[in-house]
Structure formats: structure tokens, C-alpha cells
Chains A and B, each alone.
Chain A
């Protein structure tokens, strides 16, 4: 038995939940249904700022099948607003709709219509007459009435990394790059809508909702509803896409729970696509000012990164990607500053690589500009400034294989054939551009708990409230248990996505594989230990390789169970207490006192741009990544490949357009909010650069879920420059940008 299991970690195995997914047996949040359930349809505000003046329910109530209409008159006082996750709470916004008639952003929930059918609820919602007292609203940076504050003023914990004297060094530098960049508003748009199903029974609440954070939801809901967390269960076995949008609790859940309580029946909400733009979070637009000073041979002597981010009126949400951009290259003088701009918008939130995606776009574009200015190949420029020690505090990277990634990627891409002259490479009517950029993503690991039960028939059940957001968590957890127990993978049943299970952290910051696999390994080891000690089958000296067959027969009918907790490097016992209150205490990245933990990669892009009409098409995408131990190359490859495609999307396609006058989102549907289709994605290659990191955690795992989509946008912009000689510094890059610079 042990033989079949050996080397399961690191093996290219198919998803253990794959068959359930393709046969439809896997139930996603929206698939759950209860007898006697009612249907909710949201009415959302058509103004971005003001108050509800009047709600006329007459016509809506007349719709056959409509059984309830809930507004602030019914919900205020029953549901409390919560705190942002960053402020120690559980929510993605402190704006809790239906607690007052005030409107703080476009698309805020103003009423919930309940029907016996989805159709009746919808019709009722369409017939509800809401009158507003409208006030002028500010949409974004350039609006007169926004308020901009330094992040260090807005948040006690915020730090602007600095070292040396960047300004003087910049002034004295032989070569200077002084440029500004921007990235647009983007929405996650997971295919599964923001569904919620709530049911009360004997004073206990069950919530079916796709969530990246079931324990966090449980505690957050308890706070908002004023009930005991032990009376709440959150179920999220399968998740139809998340990308950060389901990491923090959104206000809708408590509202639906409260309505179900008042109504005495289960309530199911399936909001529409456009409502998803405003009832959940998103990636806010950012602006950047980057200054690089260098010697003629390309050595950085000064790096300055100033950035601005948009947030809502009441919340200080920010991503602060300078934590990463000030640490990517060796440089003696570094300055950074982040500011946030409060506008009349919904509160932004985590979206895949929240800080790194926008911030590295700026730095990695600027590095390309420096490469052009110095005449040094962009890869060589990065080699010249490579480091194994981060420059701010002088902490060592646990491992860093950035240049190995560039070398592997360059080889696969054929980079040496690149003619560096812009516009020099052509394919008929198409200008060809090659660009590259670095990617980096912090490895953070959080305290976690898990249980493993071994049955006499040789099957094992692993239980931990982790989440599979499509990444393959079920499978990698199963692989670790199979290897550690010495059982075939088919004998392992993985149970996750249920807040009644031992707590695991939020599926955010790419920590799940590292956090959960390590604790599952621990629980398995503990189980073996218990087993062999109890059965006296062996001395406790070396039990790791012992086959289980010998002891299975001695097991009690319901098997034996082991429980483990894991405290990763940089965390304390307090982390377990927090974990049991729904808080994830992620430790790592640049936040440790003694070292720094990141995964790295190098991305290469080939573009074709038509010489007349300037449409931009991507013919090749290659990423080489070094991210510690790869538990499953198949799921890891999918993850990184999806990341590269999303990176391309963030450079060329995705942008939420805002109607400036009303501060409302305009293109809130998937016909107008563009993402690449198959025809836009020609060739994608993922290369794993071997990397062993024994320090980072017991299993040597780094997070890779968010590594893939960082840097791609810069690689695309750099390729656009190489193809055309024009530097486009504002995303997304569109054909009109190239037409404009030419004329």
C-alpha cells in the first residue's frame, strides 16, 4: 500500500473532484435548493449619492406571488454594519445597506422583494417605485469633491517603505526615468453570481453561499445578526469562481439571513450580473508616479514609487503594492508613498494579486523604459539589479530564483533572436513586439487546523474548513494525506468548505496550499504516531515509513482520529485563538522580522499589431515560475496559465467604465466588460523552474495562485513599445491609444 502512495506529493494527478464537476454532481452555491424556499430579487439604487425619499410598494405588492418587500424600514436596527477585514472585522465594506435611507454608492441595495418564484420576485422588483433625493456624486480621482489622504494618515499600520535619500540620488543620477502610469477599475465577474441561500431551524442559521472564508463568514454574520456564532453554519463545498470577491463577507448575506428569520422560510437570492458590480467588491483604479535613477551601466541608484488608489467614502481600503515594488531590486535609495482617494463608490476589495498587479505594472514598465534609455537588454538590466537581500531592511529572501526564471523563459521564448529596435520585427502587415517583465508574489502562511480519521477499511477522511476556489485544493490536500498516511489517493476523502469543520484560513493571499497542506501533513503524522503507539506495532523511532496494513485490523469500528494545528513561521499561539474566531493571521511576504518570503517568475509576451488599424493580438505567452515545491504540476499549471491569460486581459481588455457625471458603472455586463475569448489566447506555456526552499515551511510550499497574473500587463505594454516605438502608460491599451500617438 505504501508503495502506491509514495511520491504522491509532486505527482501530476487529475482532480479528485473532476468527475463530480463534469457530471454536475458537484453543487455550487447557486445549485442548492430547499423545499418551501422563497426567492429574493434585489432592487439597487440608480443614484450614487443621496437618500431614498419615498418607496411606493403598491404596484409591486399587486404582483401575484410577491410575498414580501423589505426596505430599511424593516431591516434597520436588525442588522448591524460590520468592520472591514483590514480593520479586524470580517466585511468587505462598512456600508451596510437597508440600515438607513442614505445612499453612498451606485447600485446600493435599497430593497429586497421576496416571491414564491424567481419571476414574481423579479417582476415585483421591477415594479417597485423608489424615489430619490439625489446629491452630486464624485466618481474618481479627478472629481472636485473627492478627498485624498496619505495612507499613513488613514491607517495606523500602514508603512511607506523607504531607505537612503532617493530624491538627492535621483537628481545626481546619470540616467533618469520619471513617468506616470495608471490602471483601470476592474471587476472579478466570477461566473457564479453572488448567490445566497439562508435557512433557519430551531434558532440556528445555515447559509449556503460560495465563500473563500467560511469561518470568517460565520463570525461576521454572528456579529451582524447579534447571535451566537455556534448557531451559524456556512457551507461552500464548490465555488464557481471567486478571485477574491468571496473573501470578505458582503452585506447581502446578513440581509438575506434577517429576511429569512422574519419570514420564517428559507430565502434564496440570485442577484443579476450587473448587481454583482455594486453589491460586492472590485479592483479600484490606481495612479503611479515612478522615478528611477541609474548609472550608465544600469545600476539603480534611486527608486521612487508614489501611488494613489480610489476607495469609498467611509472605508480606508488600500492595497499598497509598494511593499513589493520597493523590494524587487537592489537599490540604495528608495522612496515610496501611497495615498487614497475617497469617492462616492462602493468599497473596493481583494482581486487576484490586489497590490502586485497594478503596482508591478508601473515598476516593470519603468524598468523597460530604463532598459531602453541605457541600451541594456531588459533581462540583463534585471540581472544587474538582482539581489538575494531585500533593500529596505536588509532581510534575506528565503529563496529567490528570479534570474533562473528569466533564463528558462528566455530560452523557451527564443529571446536572443529579438531585434531590440522598435518596429523592426514584422509579419506581413503585422508589427511584432516582444516584451518581458518580472512577477513576484508574497508567500504568506496562516495558522490552520485539521482532523484526519482513519477507518478500518483503509479509507481516511480529512476535515478542514479550507476552500477550493477552483484551484485544486481538494486534490492537493488529498495528495498530502495519501503520501503521509501511506494510502492510495483514491482512499482519501477530503471534506472542506464547511464552517463546522476545524478552521482553516481565508482562501486569499495564495496561502491555502501552504497553510492547509502543512497542517494536514501534521495531522496525518500525528495519526500514524497514535496508531503505532497504541498498537505497539513498532517502537516510536521510525514510524514514517511503516505500512498501515498491519494495524488496520486493530482499529475500532469508527476508526481513529487525530487533530493538529499548525503555527507557521512568524505566527504565535495567539493565531490559533484568532483562527477560532474567524480571523486569518497570514504571516510572510515582507512582514516578517527576520526574513522575506516571495515567489518569483518571468513572463514573456509576443504581440501582433496591425500596421493600419492597430488592433493588438497576442500570439504567445510564456511564463517561467519558481515557487518552491509544486504539489501537483497539473493544477499548478492550470493556475499559472489562467493567471497569464488574466494578466493579458488586464492589459488589453478589462476595464469597468464609469459614467463620470453620475458616478455609476456603465459596462456592467459580460458583453461590454471584455475578457479574452479563446481566439485571443493562442499559445500559452508554463515552465516550472525547480526551487527547493526548506526554510519557508515544513513542506517547502510557496503560494502560486496569484503569481501568474502579475507582470503580464507590463510585459504586454513593453511588447507594444517594442512593436511600435510608442509607450502606452495607461491600461487597458487599446487601438485608439496607438492611433492617437501616431497622428
Chain B
């Protein structure tokens, strides 16, 4: 860890002032601090070295609420993972959100970590996390990618590039992508709202750029539309051990089933892609069909048709298909 400046931001005014200052010092690396479960880890490792930290936990009364409108669920960026996961109405009306949070990390981390921080967590690629590895385009643009020929069992097979195959590690992001959530972003010039799936960038030739956020921009919350598919939704996470581990593969799925016909379906995949990944083609396969095994298997194949694998993660194609099939089977059988 390197020395850094620290400032508490307790009011929107203080935030605005800080954002203004940042505009004047464009070169200075400034990071927001929420739960700190990603940021402090990486600072201790020396991977991240912000010159200044702006502690936004004081903004919880502005951006820390769970609320409901007729047609949507609103989640403040400073809502803790555990608070959203334990919320009775989220549990009943948005099972995929509650489960994606429940199955993530550990109780201690979920009590600490915020939803805003969660969607911005960094990859678990150890070539990125440990500065002793020299080749990592994400940490050191242009330095190469050690994972290509190295240990890549947990790396991505969708949305990869020749420059980076790091998997997006989070779970909650898949639920947001599947449900077509929107994200509120507050910059110096005011608020903008984006479809959540536009927040993250695939690595392309610039793996160091992970999101469209501009310096100083703050995520303030998420809107999740309520639809006829939200109650019939679930999150299936496959991993080597029963708890406290990132997904090898996960599926966030939601379905509107009417008269035993799939009217609408949403599929997002985790653990296999470089960003929260929506499987549109697979969805298209299913719409209008009966919810049966052949349909699910066919859709699962389509979902991984574009996979690009390395020796260590080749199994993820097969596992991904099985995971999605299993998730869809479970989904069709859900009592709602």
C-alpha cells in the first residue's frame, strides 16, 4: 500500500465540490470508497494506488435506500448487499436479485459491500491482482497477457479479445443485465441514466477501460423494471465449493410463462464472460416455445456458440450449457 489522501463526503454539496476539484486535477487518481472490499484489497496488494480516496459512505441517506414505484424497484448505490438480499419483497418479487447477492462472497463481506461497489468490482485474474506478474494488459497496457498461455481455468470464453480474457467476477451484475436495469450516474454536469448493459465494456484492445464512467462520475442507483418475468426468476451459480467462491459459471434467468408457452425470457451469464453477459440469441430461440428440455438444450448451445476457449477453460462451454439448461429447467418448474 502507498500513502493516499482521504476525505469523507457526507453531502451532495461536498460531492459536487470534490467533483469540481477533480476536473482541475485530471491526472490525479481519485477513487470513491464504499465498502472497500475490492478497493482496499487491491490497494494493499499495491495493484491500485489512488492518490486520494473519497469516502462516500456518508451519502447513504441520499443513495442508500430500497424503494418501489408501480413499475420498478429502485436500489441506491450505497445499499449493502446483505440489505438487498434480505429484503422480503426483493426475495419474493425478484428472486434472481436476492439469490445473486446471497450466493456472493461471505456474510461479512455482504454486510460491508455496497451495490454500487459490487458492479464495479475488479477481475480476480491473479496476473492482474499480483504486481509481480509483468504481462497484464489490464494493469499495464501493452505489456501482454500472461493468462493466454498461463493458468486460465477461471477465465472468460465470451467477449474475449486477443488482449485480455479476464472474467467479470460479480454475480449481481448478471441479475441487472437480465432484468434490463438502468443505472443512474451523477457527474459534475448532472445525472445521466444508462441501460445497465452499457455500463461495462468488453476488453477489445483497451482492457484497462472496464466501464464508460468518466473520471469523477458516481453511480447513485439502479432501476429494475417489474415485469411478468420478474417473479419467475432465479440465479444458479456453479462453483468448486459450496460457498464463498466466485462462479465458474452462473446463469441469471427470468421467464414469462403463460399457458405453458414462453412469452418472454431473459438470460444473463456469469463467470464465462468479460462483462455481465446477456444471451440474446438464446432468448430468441425460446420465445414462443414450450418450456421443455429439447428447447432448453438448443438455447443453451446457442448461448455458447461464440465461445473462444483456452486449454484451461475449454470445459466452460460444456459446463455453461449444462448450467443454463439446469437453470431453465428449474425456472420452468418454479411455483410463482
Give the B-binding residues of A (Cβ under 8 A): 44, 46, 119, 122-123, 126, 274, 429, 610, 612-615, 617, 652-653, 657-662, 664, 666-669, 671-672, 674, 676-680, 734-736, 739-740, 743
Asked whether, in the complex, the Cβ of B315 is within 8 Å of the Cβ of A666, the reply is no
Asked whether, in the complex, the Cβ of A674 is within 8 Å of the Cβ of B322, the reply is no
Contact of A661 among B149, B319, B326 (CB under 8 A): B149
Determine how close the nearest CB of chain B comes to the CB of A80; give it in whole angstroms: 28
Residues of B219-243 at the interface with A, using a CB-CB cut-off of 8 Å, are: 238-243
Q: Which residues from A are CB-within-8-Å of B238?
A: 613, 615, 735
- Find the A residue at minimum CB distance from B325: A612
Interface digits, B135-157 against A, CB 8 Å rule (1 contact, 0 not)?
Answer: 00000000000100111010000
Give the A-binding residues of B (Cβ under 8 A): 1-3, 46, 124, 126-127, 130, 132-134, 146, 149-151, 153, 238-245, 248-249, 315, 318-319, 322-323, 325-326
* Whole-angstrom CA separation of A152 from B101 in the bound complex: 56
Q: Which residues from B are CB-within-8-Å of A615?
A: 238-240
Beyond A46-B134, A612-B326, whether A674 also contacts B245 by CB under 8 A is: yes
Determine how close the nearest CB of chain B comes to the CB of A604; give it in whole angstroms: 20
Q: Which residues from A are CB-within-8-Å of B151?
A: 657-659, 666-667
Contact of B322 among A613, A661, A664, A680 (CB under 8 A): A613
A-B contact pairs, 13 of them (CB 8 A): A123-B1, A123-B2, A613-B249, A653-B240, A657-B153, A658-B151, A662-B146, A676-B241, A679-B244, A735-B238, A736-B319, A739-B315, A739-B319
Asked whether, in the complex, the Cβ of B319 is within 8 Å of the Cβ of A735, the reply is yes
Asked whether, in the complex, the Cβ of A677 is within 8 Å of the Cβ of B323, the reply is no
Most A C-beta atoms less than 10 A away, residue of B1, B133, B240, B319: B240
* Whole-angstrom CA separation of A126 from B315 in the bound complex: 37
Contact of B126 among A123, A662, A667 (CB under 8 A): A667
Contact of B3 among A123, A664, A674 (CB under 8 A): A123
Contact of B150 among A661, A677, A734, A736 (CB under 8 A): A661
* Whole-angstrom CA separation of A48 from B319 in the bound complex: 34
Q: Which residues from A are CB-within-8-Å of B323?
A: 612-613
Contact of A674 among B46, B146, B241 (CB under 8 A): B241
Asked whether, in the complex, the Cβ of B130 is within 8 Å of the Cβ of A674, the reply is no
* Whole-angstrom CA separation of A615 from B326 in the bound complex: 13
Given A610-B326, A659-B151, A661-B146, 6 other A-B residues pairs in contact with their CB atoms under 8 A: A123-B2, A123-B3, A657-B151, A662-B150, A669-B126, A735-B240
Asked whether, in the complex, the Cβ of B242 is within 8 Å of the Cβ of A677, the reply is yes
* Whole-angstrom CA separation of A44 from B239 in the bound complex: 32
Asked whether, in the complex, the Cβ of A739 is within 8 Å of the Cβ of B2, the reply is no
Q: Which residues from A are CB-within-8-Å of B244?
A: 677, 679
Asked whether, in the complex, the Cβ of A652 is within 8 Å of the Cβ of B240, the reply is yes
Asked whether, in the complex, the Cβ of A735 is within 8 Å of the Cβ of B248, the reply is yes
Beyond A739-B318, A740-B315, whether A617 also contacts B240 by CB under 8 A is: no
Contact of B130 among A274, A653, A676, A739 (CB under 8 A): A274
Determine how close the nearest CB of chain B comes to the CB of A424; give it in whole angstroms: 22
* Whole-angstrom CA separation of A674 from B240 in the bound complex: 8
Contact of A677 among B126, B243, B249, B325 (CB under 8 A): B243
Determine how close the nearest CB of chain A comes to the CB of B300; give it in whole angstroms: 10
* Whole-angstrom CA separation of A679 from B242 in the bound complex: 6
- Find the A residue at minimum CB distance from B320: A613
Determine how close the nearest CB of chain B comes to the CB of A679; give it in whole angstroms: 4
* Whole-angstrom CA separation of A674 from B130 in the bound complex: 18
* Whole-angstrom CA separation of A662 from B144 in the bound complex: 14
* Whole-angstrom CA separation of A680 from B132 in the bound complex: 32
Q: Which residues from A are CB-within-8-Å of B46?
A: 126
Determine how close the nearest CB of chain A comes to the CB of B334; give it in whole angstroms: 15
Q: Which residues from B are CB-within-8-Å of A739?
A: 315, 318-319, 322
Asked whether, in the complex, the Cβ of B240 is within 8 Å of the Cβ of A734, the reply is yes
Determine how close the nearest CB of chain B comes to the CB of A208; give it in whole angstroms: 25
- Find the A residue at minimum CB distance from B316: A736
Contact of A679 among B3, B132, B243 (CB under 8 A): B243
Q: Which residues from A are CB-within-8-Å of B248?
A: 735
Asked whether, in the complex, the Cβ of A677 is within 8 Å of the Cβ of B315, the reply is no
- Find the B residue at minimum CB distance from A739: B318
* Whole-angstrom CA separation of A674 from B154 in the bound complex: 13
Q: Which residues from A are CB-within-8-Å of B127?
A: 666
Asked whether, in the complex, the Cβ of A672 is within 8 Å of the Cβ of B318, the reply is no
Determine how close the nearest CB of chain A comes to the CB of B167; give it in whole angstroms: 13
Q: Which residues from B are CB-within-8-Å of A119?
A: 1
Q: Which residues from A are CB-within-8-Å of B322?
A: 612-614, 739
* Whole-angstrom CA separation of A121 from B334 in the bound complex: 56
Determine how close the nearest CB of chain B comes to the CB of A607; give it in whole angstroms: 13
- Find the B residue at minimum CB distance from A122: B1
* Whole-angstrom CA separation of A734 from B127 in the bound complex: 23
- Find the B residue at minimum CB distance from A678: B243
What 8 pairs across the A-B complex have the smallest Cβ distances?
A: A736-B315, A679-B242, A46-B132, A679-B243, A666-B151, A612-B322, A612-B326, A659-B150
Contact of A666 among B150, B240, B326 (CB under 8 A): B150
- Find the A residue at minimum CB distance from B319: A739
- Find the B residue at minimum CB distance from A671: B124
Q: Which residues from A are CB-within-8-Å of B241?
A: 652-653, 674, 676-677, 679-680
* Whole-angstrom CA separation of A734 from B323 in the bound complex: 15
Q: Which residues from B are CB-within-8-Å of A123?
A: 1-3
* Whole-angstrom CA separation of A196 from B140 in the bound complex: 34
Determine how close the nearest CB of chain B comes to the CB of A277; give it in whole angstroms: 11
Contact of A617 among B3, B242, B315 (CB under 8 A): B242
Q: Which residues from B are CB-within-8-Å of A736?
A: 153, 315, 319
Asked whether, in the complex, the Cβ of B126 is within 8 Å of the Cβ of A126, the reply is no
* Whole-angstrom CA separation of A607 from B58 in the bound complex: 48
Determine how close the nearest CB of chain A comes to the CB of B317; give it in whole angstroms: 10
* Whole-angstrom CA separation of A677 from B133 in the bound complex: 29
Determine how close the nearest CB of chain A comes to the CB of B259; give it in whole angstroms: 27
Contact of A613 among B134, B243, B326 (CB under 8 A): B326
Determine how close the nearest CB of chain A comes to the CB of B38; give it in whole angstroms: 12
Q: Which residues from B are CB-within-8-Å of A613?
A: 238, 249, 319, 322-323, 326
* Whole-angstrom CA separation of A669 from B130 in the bound complex: 10
Asked whether, in the complex, the Cβ of A659 is within 8 Å of the Cβ of B124, the reply is no
- Find the B residue at minimum CB distance from A123: B2
Most A C-beta atoms less than 10 A away, residue of B126, B249, B323: B126
Asked whether, in the complex, the Cβ of B2 is within 8 Å of the Cβ of A126, the reply is yes
Determine how close the nearest CB of chain B comes to the CB of A560; give it in whole angstroms: 53
* Whole-angstrom CA separation of A627 from B150 in the bound complex: 45
Q: Which residues from A are CB-within-8-Å of B319?
A: 613-614, 735-736, 739
* Whole-angstrom CA separation of A735 from B134 in the bound complex: 31
Q: Which residues from B are CB-within-8-Å of A667?
A: 126, 151
* Whole-angstrom CA separation of A495 from B83 in the bound complex: 49
Beyond A659-B146, A735-B248, whether A743 also contacts B318 by CB under 8 A is: yes
Determine how close the nearest CB of chain B comes to the CB of A594; give it in whole angstroms: 47
* Whole-angstrom CA separation of A593 from B323 in the bound complex: 58
* Whole-angstrom CA separation of A535 from B88 in the bound complex: 77
Determine how close the nearest CB of chain A comes to the CB of B247; give it in whole angstroms: 11
* Whole-angstrom CA separation of A426 from B153 in the bound complex: 29
* Whole-angstrom CA separation of A426 from B326 in the bound complex: 17
* Whole-angstrom CA separation of A735 from B244 in the bound complex: 17
- Find the B residue at minimum CB distance from A743: B318
Most A C-beta atoms less than 10 A away, residue of B146, B244, B325: B244
- Find the B residue at minimum CB distance from A740: B315
Determine how close the nearest CB of chain A comes to the CB of B333; give it in whole angstroms: 11
* Whole-angstrom CA separation of A678 from B245 in the bound complex: 13
Q: Which residues from B are CB-within-8-Å of A610?
A: 326
* Whole-angstrom CA separation of A610 from B236 in the bound complex: 13
- Find the B residue at minimum CB distance from A615: B238
Most A C-beta atoms less than 10 A away, residue of B1, B133, B315: B315
Q: Which residues from A are CB-within-8-Å of B3?
A: 123
Determine how close the nearest CB of chain B comes to the CB of A142; give it in whole angstroms: 14
* Whole-angstrom CA separation of A662 from B153 in the bound complex: 17
* Whole-angstrom CA separation of A657 from B153 in the bound complex: 10
- Find the B residue at minimum CB distance from A119: B1
- Find the A residue at minimum CB distance from B41: A671
- Find the B residue at minimum CB distance from A737: B315
* Whole-angstrom CA separation of A735 from B315 in the bound complex: 9
